Amino acid sequence: MTLRKGEQLIPLPPKIFDTLLALVERKGEVVTKDQLMKALWPDSFVEESNLVQNVFVLRRTLGRASGNEEYIQTIPKRGYRISVPVEDLAALPDADAAAVIQPRIERTTRSFSWRLKWTAATGALGAAGFLIMLLFETRPARPTVASFIQLTRDGADKHGLSGPHGGPDGALATDGSRVYFTAGTQGSAHISQVSAAGGDTVNIPLPFNSAQLLDFSPVRSELLVAEFVDPAAETPLWAVSVPAGTARRVGRLSARDAAWSRDGHRIALVRGTELLLSDEYGTAQRKLADLPGLGWRPRWSPDDRLLRLTIVDPKHITTSIWEIAVDTGRARPLLPNWNTPAAACCGEWTADGKQYFFQATRGGKSEIWGLPSNRGVLGLFVKTLGAPQQITSGQMNSLAPVPSPDGRSLFVIGQQHRGELERYDAGSRRFIPYLGGIPADFIDFSRDGRWMTYVLLPEGTLWRSKIDGSERLQLTFPPGEAMVPHWSPDGRRIVFHTMGGGRHRQICIVSREGGQPEIVPGSTGAEMHPTWSPNGKALIYSDYPFFGASPNQVAVHTLDLRTRQVKTLPGSHGIFSPTWSPDGRYATALALDGQRIMIFDFQTQLWSELAKGWGIATWSADGHYVYYLRYGPQPAILRICIQDRRIQEVASLAGIHQAGRLAGIQFALAPDGSPVFLRDTGTEEIYSVNLQAR
C-alpha cells in the first residue's frame, strides 16, 4: 500500500505509515494510545514519546485539510482519530471505479500520441544516461528515526562545564554497550555511565572534582577527561580507563577541548583560537591552524585526514562547524550560509564515515541533523541530495549526538528547559515558589523594594513589575537576549547586557516605562556585568573573560556617563564581574586564577581577597554583607560580614539545581534579604535514537 496526494507519491517510514494505517482503518473512530502502542510495537517496550513523534511527523507530512483542520485529531487523555471522511475505494462498484480511472487513461493517450516519435528518439539516450548515473550513484540511504528510548532517569544536569567558558554542552561517548557522559554542575561534576539499553546511572571514581568528558579512545578502553581546575587556564587532560576508572595524566597536556585520532597516535588540542596536534604521549606538539574563533569539540574523520570542530564567534554569539585538512591546516566552513544566524555545533562521524551527525538550533529549538559524506553523481546536479537532513523533531531539544559503532543508533541528550522562581524561607529552611514560580532569570530588585526586573525564559526578554507581580511591562524584544539587569539607584532606569540574535554584545539602558533601549556611549561589546554607582552617575563593569583568545587580559573599569571617561581600576587585571557596594566605598569581583571573591577599597585603591568562593557576589541592602556561593560536595549560599570577615551559611543548595543562562553563578536578594533564584525543573536525560535507512 502507498500514500498519494493527487499524482504525488508520499514516502513514509514503515512505523509512521503503520500509525496512519491504524487510524485510517478505524474510519474516524477514536484509537486509544494503548491500542496504537500495541499495534505498532507488539513485542517491545517503548516510550509513549515515540507515538507522539509518529503523529507529529504525520501531521507535518499531511498538512491541513480544506477547512484548515488537522487530519489527525488529538482526543485529550484518550488517543487520536482521523478527522476527515474515509472511503474504501476497493469497495466501490466497477462502473464507479471505471468512471474515476477512464478519464485519466483517455487524457494520457491523447497527450502521448503526438509525442510518441520524440519519445522514441530521446528515450534511448535518456535511458543510457540514467543507467550511467545509476552505475556511479553511491549516495547513502537517508537515516530516519524509528523510535526513541529513554536511558537515564537520574535527574542530574548533563550539559557539562564548558558553557560558562564559551563552549557547547558536554560530549557523549559510547562503545555500543554503554554510554558515558558528564553529570553534575560547577564544582561537583563527575563522569557517569549507563547501559545502552537503559538502567541505573553509575559514577566513575576520579581523583578530582569538576570533570568533563571530552572523547573516547579508538579501542574503547579509555575516556579523555578534562579537569576544570582554574576558570582562566587550560585544563589538565586525563585518560580514564573503563570500567576500572584508573586515571592517568596525558603527559603534561592541557587544553580547553581535545580528541584522539582514529589510529590513536595523535591528539588534537584546542586552546582558545589555536588548534594543535600532539603525539599520543603528550610530548611533541605543533600548531596546525589559527582558528576564526574559539574552538571546541574537535573530531577526526575515520581516515584521520580531516578535523571538524565547533567555532564560537564571541563577537556575534554564533556557532558554526569548520573543517580543517590535517596535512595543510587549511580551514573552511562546512555549511556556509546554511543557518542564519549560524547555530550548528558538536558533530560526530559514523565509524564508516558515511554520515556526519551534528546539532543545530533554529527558532530557539535544537535538533539533530545528518550530512551524507558522499553525494553521488546525482548530487552534482541536485543540491538537496547533499544538504543536511533533519533527523529528530519533537518537543525536547536534542543535543550532543554520538552514533553507535554499528551506526544503527544515535545517543543524545534530551533537554527540556523549565525553571521556577524560588525564595529561601529561613523559618522552614527550604526554598518555596516565589511569585507563582514564574520562569524568571536574572531577577533584581529596586533599592526602594517596590519594583523588580527579570529576564523571562526561554525567550530572553526583559520585563519589570511590582514585587507582587502586578504592572508587568515587557521592555525588550527578540532576537536579542537580555542578561544581568540592574536597577538604577533612583529606580527609574535599568542597565543590562544584551547578546545574541547575530548581533554584537552591548550595554544598554532602558526606562522603567519602556521605550527603545539606548546603547551606553562607548560600549564596544567587550564588556560584561554593568552595575550602577550609588549616585547613578557611573557604571562599573569588566571585560568578558573566557570568550577571547587571551582570557587573562581582563580588567575592571568605570564609565562616567556624563563625560564618557573610562578608567581602569588599578590592580584589576585578571579580575571580572564587579559590583559596587551600596555606600560606594567598595567593589567586589571574581578572580580568574581560582575561586576567590575579591574586594576593592576605593579609598586605598587596593584589592584584597575577601573570601574563598564563586558566583557573582551580591551586596546586602545595608552594605554590611556580601553573599556568594560555595561549590563542591556541600554547595551553599554563604555571606561574609565586611567588618569582621565572619562567614555564615545562609542556605544549603544540596540536591538543588539552578536554571538560567548563568546557572550556578547568579542569584539575587529579595527586599527582606532572603536569597532568590531560578530553580531548574526541566529535564536532561540520555536517549537512544534508533535509526532506519530510507
- The H helix count followed by the E strand count for the chain is 5, 53
Q: What is the DSSP string of 222-268?
A: EEEEEE---TTSPEEEEEEETTT--EEEEEEEEESEEEE-TTSSEEE
CATH number of the CATH domain containing 469:
2.120.10.30
pLDDT of residue 98: 36
Same domain, 174 and 151: yes
Flag whether 365 is in a domain: yes
Same structural domain, 278 and 198? yes
- Residues 394, 507 within the same domain: no
Tally of CB atoms within 10 A around 131: 9
Identify which of 681, 678, 680 has the alpha carbon closest to the alpha carbon of residue 422.
678
Task: Identify whether 402 is part of a domain.
Answer: yes
Is residue 568 a part of any domain in this protein?
Answer: yes
What pLDDT is recorded for position 171? 93
| Residue 406 and residue 462 in one domain | no
- CATH number of the CATH domain containing 50: 1.10.10.10
Last residue of a domain, one of 26, 56, 90: 90
- Give strand pairing partners of 307: 300, 324
Q: What is the DSSP string of 417-460?
A: --EEEEEEETTTTEEEE-GGG--EEEEEE-TTSSEEEEEETTTT
Other CB atoms within a 10 A radius of the CB of residue 276 amount to 17
pLDDT of res. 686: 96
The model's pTM is: 0.70
Candidates 438, 428, 490; CA nearest to 467 is 438
Residue 176's CB: how many other CB atoms inside 10 A? 15
- Domain extent for 40: 4-90
Does 283 map to a domain?
Answer: yes
Question: In the chain, what is the straight-line distance between the N-terminal and C-terminal CA atoms, in Å?
Answer: 17
Q: Tell me, yes or no, whether 148 and 52 share the same domain.
A: no
Last-in-domain residue among 90, 117, 151: 90
The pLDDT of residue 597 is: 94
Greatest distance between any 2 Cα atoms in the chain: 102
Tell me the sheet residues that pair with 589.
Answer: 598
DSSP symbols for 578-630: EEE-TTSSEEEEEESSSSEEEEEETTTTEEEEEEE-EEEEEE-TTSSEEEEEE
Q: How far apart are CA 446 and CA 466, in angstroms?
A: 10
Distance from C-alpha of 652 to C-alpha of 640, rounded to nearest angstrom: 15
- Neighbouring CB atoms inside 10 A of 21's CB total 15
Mind listing the pLDDT tens digit for each residue in 155-188?
888 888 777 667 788 899 999 999 999 998 766 7
Do 163 and 75 belong together in one domain? no
Q: Do residue 459 and residue 429 come from a single domain? A: yes
Using 70 as the pLDDT threshold, list the residues of the chain that sit under it. Answer: 1-2, 5-9, 11, 43-47, 49, 66-68, 89-141, 164-165, 186-187, 229-233, 315, 375-385, 500-504, 524-526, 546-552, 663, 694
Residue 146: C-alpha distances to residues 56, 396, 688 (Å): 13, 17, 11
- The predicted pLDDT at position 129 comes to 54
DSSP state of 81: E
- pLDDT at res. 141: 66
Residue 517 lies in a domain: yes
Last residue of a domain, one of 53, 71, 90: 90
Q: State how far the Cα of 366 lies from the Cα of 360, in Å rounded to an integer.
A: 5
Write b or e for each residue in 417-429: b if 16 or more Cβ atoms lie within 10 A of its Cβ, otherwise e: bebbbbbbeeeee
Whether 598 and 676 map to the same domain: the answer is yes
Q: Is residue 15 part of a domain?
A: yes
377 and 493 share a domain?
Answer: no
Please state the domain count of the chain.
3
**Residue 56 amino acid letter:** F
With beta carbons less than 8 A apart as the criterion, state whether 399 and 359 touch: yes
631 is a domain residue: no
Asked, for residue 627, whether it belongs to a domain, the answer is no
- Buried b or exposed e, range 468-480, using 16+ CB within 10 angstroms: eeeeeeebbeeeb
Q: Are residues 148 and 46 in the same domain?
A: no
- Distance from C-alpha of 504 to C-alpha of 317, rounded to nearest angstrom: 7
In terms of domains, do 266 and 406 share one? Answer: yes
Tell whether 15 and 36 lie within a shared domain.
yes
Strand pairing class (188-195; 202-204): antiparallel
